[in-house]
Amino acid sequence: MDKSFNICNYQKIIDKNVDECIGICKGILSDDEFKESEKIFLLDWIIKNELDKKDSMVKILFDELNNSNNTLDDLKEILIKFSGGVLTPSDEIKSMSTLLPIEKDLESIEFINKSFCLTGKFSSAYGNRKAIENIIKDKGGNIKETVSQSLDYLVIGELGNTDWVHSTFGRKIQTTLENKKKIYCETKIVSEQQLLSFLKNE
């Protein structure tokens, strides 16, 4: 059997399980509460389906569920961000940066001869994503349409789609997370807010 077919079929099975995980999260959120028993059920379900090993984004959710510093209210908000369970007005859309492994204590962002890939929705005083890409080019940076192990920066915009996990937005994040597991990949995942703060200082 063709290897590419097996890989494609394997990814479809993972996608189906991720969809089911999202559905479970939305079901849990339907009564606007998150109980300890629901937390235990969700953890057990993720382990049973091995999604903590097969999907990088579910692994982040899994780690947050296991983080003893998170209260049930904290976890409820994390489930909302993961599943798109609650729609908010456009001016209140929250960034996925609170759920993703964004670089902490970032001291600088270099632009000259550095590669950038932007994903998600950008709507700042600088303009949309295309406008920000042009500013990066003006500062000597290179824009990439896809992520790779040699990418320097993946910049995450706002979450503007409740189906983000299977969108291009989600795929770029997941690919970068997988690449970062490899010792020779030094891609930094930064938020739109971090990028803008360094653009202001340039």
Query: What are the chain's domains?
Result: 3-86 (no CATH), 97-201 (3.40.50.10190)
Which residues in the chain land under pLDDT 50? 1-7, 87-97, 160-163
Compute φ and ψ for 188, nearest 5 degrees: -100, 130
pTM: 0.57
pLDDT at 166: 52
CA atoms within 13 A on the CB side of 102: 18
Tokens 């192990």 locate to 149
b/e code 135-173 from CB counts within 10 Å (16+ = b): bbeebebeebeebeeebbbbbbbbbeeeebbebebbebb
pLDDT at 1: 47
